Amino acid sequence: TGEIDAGSFVTREQAVLLRVVDLELTNAGKDDGVPTSFLREAALLSKLQHPNIIRHLGSEILGKRAVMCTEFVHESFTTWFKRLDSLSSCERLVDITVKFRQVLTGLSYVHHQGVMHRNLKPDNIFLDPQGIVKLGDFTTTRMLDIPFQAYTPEDPKERDRSGREMRRLWYRAPELILRDDIYGPKVDTWSVGCLLAEAASGRAVFQSDSEIDHLFRVFRLVGTPTATSWPEVVTMRNFSPKFPIYSGFSLAQVTKAVSCTNAVDQDELMRQAQPDRSEILQNLMSVAAVLGPDGMLVLDQLI
């Protein structure tokens, strides 16, 4: 939270980003002090030193404002996704491959430092002026416990979600929405899979407007989980045996139908998709057309 401004170190002639948090607006009371999320992010970014992590240059409390200074980043994945539309299919595939290799490299480093990001979305992944990927916004991170331990659950929001909160939902792993008490870094891996599919197809895979809508959109794509396919799911607080049953799509089948332009396979897929999954299938076929078999194999491992 807070305002983001560009600035510079005059003595270093270095462009920077300044995140300014108004403590009076952020806190419920005047004596609440600096938000723990701000302190957590400042401490964590000071520890995380990697070419694909946004670099923390310092933080300071100035009166009633908390200021965090980081290296300058040119744009986020939100604007990069839009620019992909102007590229040829070959250029698009190369650009996506290069960028997501950096995303996975940075995320692997974060996980090996014992940290889960938990909020990967286009607004939180940046590109510096040289086009290097930088993971940012570590306000909702959690430290990993090995073996995994139960975490304090995030409270579901009773008020209407803002557009920003809604978009965050699009990239959240189902176990977080099902309120699993014990989860690990796979929640970040799921988010990367959603981002990869969006980069390839030009639209978010799960454009949901509520948590239950999000779950059902996920189930339409990968199938409704059962005690057989996902034994732990029946213990999650938000799971219900009354959820609608979907069989899910085989990404390998979608890839084959698209890459071979196999009309029989495509017709069979469309029959599976009717009446309420044709949009998801069309989106998947767009992804397969860009990523090809190897890219779809990676996506299958991520989602």
Tell me phi and psi for residue 14, to 5 degrees: -120, 125
Q: What is the largest CA-CA distance in the chain?
A: 68
Alpha carbons 264 and 288: distance in angstroms, whole number: 17
Q: Which of 35, 52, 71 is the last residue of a domain?
A: 71
Give the CA angle between residues 248, 265, 269 to the nearest 5°. 30
Contact between 17 and 3 (Cβ < 8 Å): no
What total of structural domains would you count in the chain? Answer: 2
- What range defines the domain where residue 45 resides? 16-71
The residue whose two tokens read 């009717």 is 274
> What's residue 230's pLDDT?
92
Task: Bin 66: left if φ > 0, else alpha if -120 < ψ < 50, else beta.
Answer: beta
For residues 47 and 124, membership in a common domain is answered with no
- Is the residue at 99 inside a domain? yes
For residues 36 and 109, membership in a common domain is answered with no
For residues 51 and 164, membership in a common domain is answered with no
Q: Which of 53, 71, 89 is the last residue of a domain?
A: 71
Give the CA angle between residues 120, 249, 295 to the nearest 5°. 55
Alpha carbons 65 and 25: distance in angstroms, whole number: 10
For residues 45 and 190, membership in a common domain is answered with no
For residues 29 and 109, membership in a common domain is answered with no
What 3 state SS string does the chain have?
Answer: CCEEEEEEECCCCEEEEEEEEEHHHHCCCCCCCCCHHHHHHHHHHHHCCCCCECCEEEEEEECCEEEEEEECCCEEHHHHHHHHCCCCHHHHHHHHHHHHHHHHHHHHHHHHCCEECCCCCHHHEEECCCCCEEECCCCCCEECCCCCCCCCCCCCCCCCCCHHHHHHHCCCCHHHHCCCCCCCCHHHHHHHHHHHHHHHHCCCCCCCCCHHHHHHHHHHHHCCCCCCCCHHHHHCCCCCCCCCCCCCCCHHHHHHHHHCCCHHHHHHHHHHHCCCCHHHHHHHHHHHHHHHHHHHHHHHHHC
Specify which of 31-40, 110-119, 277-286 reaches the highest per-range mean pLDDT: 110-119
Average pLDDT score, the chain? 81
Statement: residue 149 has pLDDT above 60:
no
Q: Which CATH number covers residue 104?
A: 1.10.510.10
Statement: residue 241 has pLDDT above 50:
yes
Statement: residue 3 has pLDDT above 60:
no
Contact between 125 and 135 (Cβ < 8 Å): yes
- Is the residue at 1 inside a domain? no
Alpha carbons 229 and 215: distance in angstroms, whole number: 16
- Is the residue at 5 inside a domain? no
For residues 124 and 181, membership in a common domain is answered with yes
For residues 62 and 87, membership in a common domain is answered with no
Q: Which of 52, 71, 90 is the last residue of a domain?
A: 71
Give the CA angle between residues 145, 188, 90 to the nearest 5°. 150
Mean pLDDT is lowest, of 20-24, 131-135, 292-296, for: 292-296
Cis peptide before 174 (omega within 30 of 0): no
For residues 282 and 185, membership in a common domain is answered with yes
- Is the residue at 120 inside a domain? yes
Length in residues, the chain: 303
For residues 148 and 31, membership in a common domain is answered with no
> What's residue 8's pLDDT?
47
For residues 88 and 224, membership in a common domain is answered with yes
- Is the residue at 11 inside a domain? no
> What's residue 294's pLDDT?
75
Half-sphere exposure of residue 228: CA atoms within 13 angstroms, side-chain side? 2
- Is the residue at 111 inside a domain? yes
Give 228's pLDDT tier (boundaries 50, 70, 90).
Answer: very high
Give 200's pLDDT tier (boundaries 50, 70, 90).
Answer: confident
For residues 47 and 163, membership in a common domain is answered with no
Q: Which CATH number covers residue 55?
A: 3.30.200.20
- Is the residue at 261 inside a domain? yes
- Is the residue at 101 inside a domain? yes
Statement: residue 155 has pLDDT above 60:
no
For residues 34 and 86, membership in a common domain is answered with no
Statement: residue 80 has pLDDT above 90:
yes
> What's residue 90's pLDDT?
87
User: What are the pLDDT digits (tens) for 157-173?
Assistant: 443 444 556 678 999 99
